[in-house]
């Protein structure tokens, strides 16, 4: 990780601006300027749809949850290894618009470009490009293009493409279409994946043009899913003619306009993506037409206003203001913008570790969602959080089936990586063995229930999830006589992917216990407070009250590895026995890529850690540990952690704050905040690192401001980094929305709306009764 990079883009509080097109930056910038609404994802590629090579760009357009499958091959297959892959599929490109001035094509690499800018307006959720283009033949025109993916209608994205002839009058031609000859970049974006998808995976089933509309529908070869894509157009500013062209893998309309010098001609393109994951295949075309007519009727200008309005409301709740460091400010907003736009919002889809910004990790959903991104939404936009939980509830049956595959007679085990709810990990030591996914989802669910007090969710879905996950925890381990009768969980992999198939991973055991505790609390509550609900759920799950005896016993007797001499919690039972790690023996160019350069046995044999693991558990349940304990463990893990995962530094930073290691905390924070914006990992082309992006928010709110709710109360322990003037953010907790402003003069808490707020600052009880009321606290 190269953290000494200079800012790639100009430092601005709300915008990311590309001031010059350079082909060598293109692939990365396509991710920077990617737009999404959690359903449609579209990379920041140009309307011209240049035919770049595999190292230069990827025309990526995605629908959340839409995947292709390939048969997976193994040297030797294990029972329960997934046999069919799930890869987020690159869909037909409906952004495509090519422009010709009297037969000369607008091509950024051929003519002369000046006044170039491409701006991601994060505050508004709009991407704009503006330039003056002179054709080789001398025709000069101003081109202004803006686009957004709609937060109002999940299936819609819109483009406004405006051209003003500056030195000529004459024919302007827009060829606007849908290009179906698209492929994933598997070898580039997922080099260790053997099975694809390679080549074109979509077979067209309908290619149509009618008036101002075009329609393209196609089915995947193996997963047999159908994607539909339609466009409707509106041209203003000049008289024009339109003609259609249908090809085997493409459909387009050609708008030929008689433009006047100085007069702006605008083509508005309304785009609708949908798939038969949401409706019957037969309905897709009708639905597309309906959605496009709605969008066109509202018009681009109106839709743009609504987009801005939606975004402004989002920022009101979610913005983190940093006074005194504009670069970090920009980094934080970039991160918040990307995670906000990447989360599935329909309850049927989750959120990929790369959002919908690229093909990295095959578009899979991991624990990153629940443990890194989810807390941001819980406190700032709980509706999105609820939808993400809906997705997990919707795949509970598949998690039940998976638990049976793993030999559990009862309960549910969520997959380590997935799109459709089935396990997609092809290497179980780093996949299915990460049982902590059940603890992560349970943690997120409990956090949601605590912060929102959403009783309906608890009754309808949450309790069932908690019980089913708890059942697997109650079956996976056993009380070991050799460990004083304590409950031991063997052969799991914790978050740390350099220590696999270990016994008694501290993080796993901790989350297992707390997961069981939550389930126990849930069933006790139900039985006492909602007996009918209890009976009905117990009947559905064939749940016997006696099961809770075992849960109780496990909670009381969970085993944790402990090093008496150092008084720390080792990562797992065997961690202290492993060989000391000698980084000097590893050539620098191989250090961050251990699995690419070393045998797994070499890696797991050494006493080092890829990422926050035990420390993450201690952060999540910091109320269960003394500050001294946290310090000892932090010091210990600080030495053995390599931070080879983007999920690591933000967590270390938060714990560093908690124990007063503020300088280290600030260093960690700096490494997190602009990690993607400045491409520290040199792989931003493959997509965002959503977990770290969200970790930045946590680093400010849970780190510097010290927010904790893990004992069921709202607590702060504010700290102002020395380099900052101040910072502020908003959070919602149990019906109160608070603005928190921390500055040189202390911390100010304002109740923006909702119920009277009670909270603690550095342990002191505080309260605000009235909306608009403020509490000041010296720090």
Q: State the catalytic residues.
A: 497
- Would the CA dihedral through 18, 21, 23, 27 be positive or negative? positive
CB of 482 to a copy of itself, least distance (A): 4
DSSP string covering 466-478? HHHHHHHHHHH-E
Please identify which residue in 2, 194, 628, 663 interacts with a copy of itself, judged by CB under 8 A: 194
Q: Which is nearer to a copy of itself, 481 or 542 (CB)?
A: 481
Total residues contacting a copy of itself by CB under 8 A comes to 57
Does residue 271 contact residue 194 with C-beta atoms inside 8 Å?
Answer: no
CB of 478 to a copy of itself, least distance (A): 4
Pairing of strands 579-580, 606-607: parallel
Q: How far apart are CA 455 and CA 465, in angstroms?
A: 14
Q: Of 469, 475, 445, nearest to 457 (Cα)?
A: 445
Q: Which is nearer to a copy of itself, 170 or 574 (CB)?
A: 574
Please identify which residue in 62, 377, 391, 428 interacts with a copy of itself, judged by CB under 8 A: 428
Please identify which residue in 4, 78, 584, 626 interacts with a copy of itself, judged by CB under 8 A: 78
x-or-dash string of contact with a copy of itself, 135-154, rule CB under 8 A: --------------------
Under the binding rule (CB under 8 A), the answer on residue 77 touching a copy of itself is: yes
CB of 604 to a copy of itself, least distance (A): 5
Rounded to the nearest 10°, the torsion over CA 500, 503, 504, 508 is 30
Return the residues of window 596-625 that contact a copy of itself according to CB under 8 A. 596-602, 604-605
Q: Of 643, 414, 388, nearest to 511 (Cα)?
A: 414
Which residues make Cβ contacts (< 8 Å) with residue 159, sequence separation at least 6? 47, 95, 97, 145, 146, 147, 268, 269, 271
Under the binding rule (CB under 8 A), the answer on residue 485 touching a copy of itself is: no
Under the binding rule (CB under 8 A), the answer on residue 433 touching a copy of itself is: yes
Under the binding rule (CB under 8 A), the answer on residue 52 touching a copy of itself is: no
Under the binding rule (CB under 8 A), the answer on residue 480 touching a copy of itself is: yes
Under the binding rule (CB under 8 A), the answer on residue 130 touching a copy of itself is: no
Please identify which residue in 576, 592, 624, 752 interacts with a copy of itself, judged by CB under 8 A: 576
Neighbours of 760 (CB within 10 A): 17
Please identify which residue in 22, 24, 482, 763 interacts with a copy of itself, judged by CB under 8 A: 482
Q: How far apart are CA 607 and CA 642, in angstroms?
A: 11
CB of 80 to a copy of itself, least distance (A): 4
Q: Which is nearer to a copy of itself, 237 or 429 (CB)?
A: 429
CB of 607 to a copy of itself, least distance (A): 8
Which residue blocks in 354-435 are alpha helix, DSSP H? 368, 374-380, 382-394, 396-405
Q: Of 287, 172, 177, 173, nearest to 232 (Cα)?
A: 177
- Residue matched to tokens 């043009």: 209
Under the binding rule (CB under 8 A), the answer on residue 187 touching a copy of itself is: no
x-or-dash string of contact with a copy of itself, 502-531, rule CB under 8 A: -xx---------------------------
Does residue 663 contact residue 721 with C-beta atoms inside 8 Å?
Answer: no
Under the binding rule (CB under 8 A), the answer on residue 560 touching a copy of itself is: no
Pairing of strands 265-275, 726-733: unpaired
Return the residues of window 361-400 that contact a copy of itself according to CB under 8 A. none
- Would the CA dihedral through 327, 331, 334, 340 be positive or negative? negative
Q: Which is nearer to a copy of itself, 156 or 193 (CB)?
A: 193
**Which residues make up the interface to a copy of itself (CB under 8 A)?**
72-82, 192-195, 405-407, 426-429, 432-433, 476-478, 480-483, 488, 490-491, 500-501, 503-504, 563, 565, 573-574, 576-580, 595-602, 604-605
């Amino acid at each position: 990780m190269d953290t000494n990079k200079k800012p790639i883009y100009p430092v601005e509080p709300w915008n990311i601006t590309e001031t010059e097109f350079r082909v060598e930056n293109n692939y990365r910038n396509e991710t920077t300027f990617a737009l999404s609404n959690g359903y449609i994802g579209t990379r920041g590629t140009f309307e011209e749809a240049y035919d770049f090579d595999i190292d230069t760009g990827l025309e990526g357009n995605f629908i959340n949850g839409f995947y292709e499958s390939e048969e997976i091959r193994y040297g030797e297959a294990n029972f329960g290894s997934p046999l069919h892959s799930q890869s987020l599929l690159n869909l037909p490109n409906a952004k495509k618009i090519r422009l010709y001035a009297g037969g000369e094509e607008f091509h950024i690499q051929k003519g002369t470009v000046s006044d170039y800018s491409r701006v991601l307006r994060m505050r508004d959720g709009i991407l704009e490009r503006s330039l003056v283009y002179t054709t080789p033949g001398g025709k000069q025109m101003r081109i202004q293009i803006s686009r957004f993916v709609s937060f109002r209608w999940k299936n819609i994205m819109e483009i406004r493409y405006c051209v003003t002839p500056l030195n000529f009058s004459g024919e302007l031609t827009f060829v606007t279409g849908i290009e179906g000859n698209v492929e994933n970049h598997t070898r580039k974006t997922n080099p260790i994946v053997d099975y694809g998808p390679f080549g074109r995976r979509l077979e067209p089933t309908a290619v149509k043009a009618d008036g101002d509309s075009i329609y393209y529908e196609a089915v995947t070869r193996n997963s047999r899913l159908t994607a539909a894509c339609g466009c409707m157009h509106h041209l203003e500013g000049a008289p024009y003619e339109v003609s259609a062209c249908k090809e085997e893998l493409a459909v387009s309309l050609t708008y030929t306009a008689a433009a006047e010098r100085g007069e702006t001609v605008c083509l508005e393109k309304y785009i609708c993506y949908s798939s038969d994951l949401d409706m019957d295949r037969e309905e897709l075309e009708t639905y597309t037409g309906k959605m496009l007519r709605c969008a066109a009727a509202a018009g681009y200008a109106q839709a743009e206003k609504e987009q801005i309005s939606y975004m402004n409301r989002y920022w009101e709740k979610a913005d983190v203001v940093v006074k005194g460091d504009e670069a970090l400010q920009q980094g934080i907003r970039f991160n918040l913008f990307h995670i906000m736009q990447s989360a599935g919002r329909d309850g049927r889809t989750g959120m990929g570790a790369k959002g919908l910004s690229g093909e990295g990790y095959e578009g899979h959903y991991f624990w990153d969602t629940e443990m890194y991104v989810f807390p941001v939404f819980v406190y700032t936009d709980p509706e999105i959080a609820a939808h993400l939980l809906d997705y997990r509830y919707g795949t509970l049956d598949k998690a039940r089936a998976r638990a049976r595959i793993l030999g559990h007679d009862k309960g549910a085990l969520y997959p380590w990586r997935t799109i459709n709810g089935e396990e997609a990990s092809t290497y179980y030591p780093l996949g299915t063995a990460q049982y902590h996914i059940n603890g992560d989802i349970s943690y997120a669910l409990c956090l949601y229930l605590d912060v929102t007090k959403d009783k309906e969710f608890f009754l309808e879905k949450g309790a069932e999830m908690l019980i089913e996950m708890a059942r697997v925890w109650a079956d996976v381990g056993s009380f070991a006589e050799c460990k004083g009768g304590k409950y031991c969980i063997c052969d799991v992999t914790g978050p740390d992917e350099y220590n696999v198939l270990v016994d008694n991973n501290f993080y796993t055991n901790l989350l297992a216990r707390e997961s069981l505790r939550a389930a126990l609390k849930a069933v006790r509550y139900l039985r006492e407070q909602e007996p009918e609900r209890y009976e009905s759920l117990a009947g559905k799950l064939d749940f016997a009250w006696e099961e809770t005896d075992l849960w109780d016993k496990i909670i009381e007797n969970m085993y944790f590895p402990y090093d008496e001499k150092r008084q720390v919690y080792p990562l797992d039972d065997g961690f202290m026995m492993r060989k000391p790690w000698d980084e000097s023996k590893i050539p620098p160019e191989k250090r961050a890529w251990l699995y690419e350069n070393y045998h797994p046995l070499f890696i797991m044999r050494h006493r080092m850690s890829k990422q926050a693991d035990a420390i993450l558990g201690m952060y999540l349940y910091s109320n269960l540990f003394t500050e001294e304990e946290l310090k000892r463990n932090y010091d210990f893990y600080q030495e053995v952690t390599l931070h080879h995962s983007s999920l690591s530094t933000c967590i270390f930073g938060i714990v560093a704050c908690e124990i007063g290691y503020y300088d280290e905390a600030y260093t960690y924070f700096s490494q997190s905040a602009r990690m993607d914006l400045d491409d520290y990992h040199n792989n931003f082309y493959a997509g965002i690192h959503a977990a770290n992006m969200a970790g930045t928010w946590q680093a400010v709110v849970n780190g510097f401001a010290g927010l904790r709710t893990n004992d069921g109360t709202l607590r702060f322990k504010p700290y102002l980094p020395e380099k900052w003037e101040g910072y502020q953010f908003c959070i919602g907790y149990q019906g109160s929305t608070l603005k928190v402003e921390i500055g040189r003069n202390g911390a100010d808490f304002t109740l923006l709306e909702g119920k009277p707020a009670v909270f603690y600052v550095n342990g002191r009880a505080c309260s605000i009764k009235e909306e608009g009321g403020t509490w000041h606290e010296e720090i």
